Amino acid sequence: MAHDEHASGSPDAATRLAEFRSFRERMNKRILEADNLEIRRFFALDDRVYQDGALDRRTKELLGLVASLVLRCDDCISYHVIRCREEGVSEEALLETLSIGLVVGGSIVIPHMRRAVALMDELDPPTT
């Protein structure tokens, strides 16, 4: 696909982002409807752990991105890239964060880095 098919604000990028969020929300709701105590507690912990504390949300999202990259979870990587951008994290800071994940995870994370950078470009296309 041509780069401009994924440009921020394009129907494709906007649709993909909306679909990602919609699926996540719909499936989280479906999972929580099961009323399983352990699952509800884990989801609540996941929500609370990313709130401001001694570390701010931005730092926590960057840490989540490193962990997701090392664990090679593409959905998790996408979620944290999106959240990092929403928290105002610059491209330079995101790339530096990805470099930490690369050092920790090794070359096997490179394909996941590619997808993370592609998503970054969709959210905020390069100006070059």
90 alpha-carbon distance from chain centroid: 14
Q: In the block, which residue shows the tokens 């959240």? A: 83
> Which backbone phi and psi does 122 adopt, to 5 degrees?
-65, -40
Count of domains forming the chain: 1
Write the burial class of residue 121 (CB in 10 Å: 0-12 exposed, 13-18 middle, 19+ buried).
middle
Model confidence at 37, pLDDT cuts 50, 70, 90, reads very high
Reported as a single tens digit per residue, the pLDDT across 89-124 is 999 999 999 999 999 999 999 999 999 999 999 998
Residue 128 domain-assigned (yes or no):
no
Q: Where are the alpha helices (DSSP H) in the chain?
A: 11-33, 37-49, 57-71, 74-86, 91-105, 110-123
| Residue 116 within a domain | yes
Does residue 64 belong to any structural domain of this protein? yes
| Tens digits of residue pLDDT in 56-80 | 999 999 999 999 999 999 999 999 9
Kindly report the pTM of this predicted structure. Answer: 0.84
Place of tokens 């699926």: 23
Token pair listed for 124? 């905020």
CATH of the domain at 93: 1.20.1290.10
The answer to whether residue 85 is domain-embedded is yes
Within a domain: residue 46?
A: yes
On whether residue 16 sits in a domain, the answer given is: yes
In a domain, 81, yes or no: yes
24 in a structural domain: yes
Provide the domain limits for residue 11.
3-123
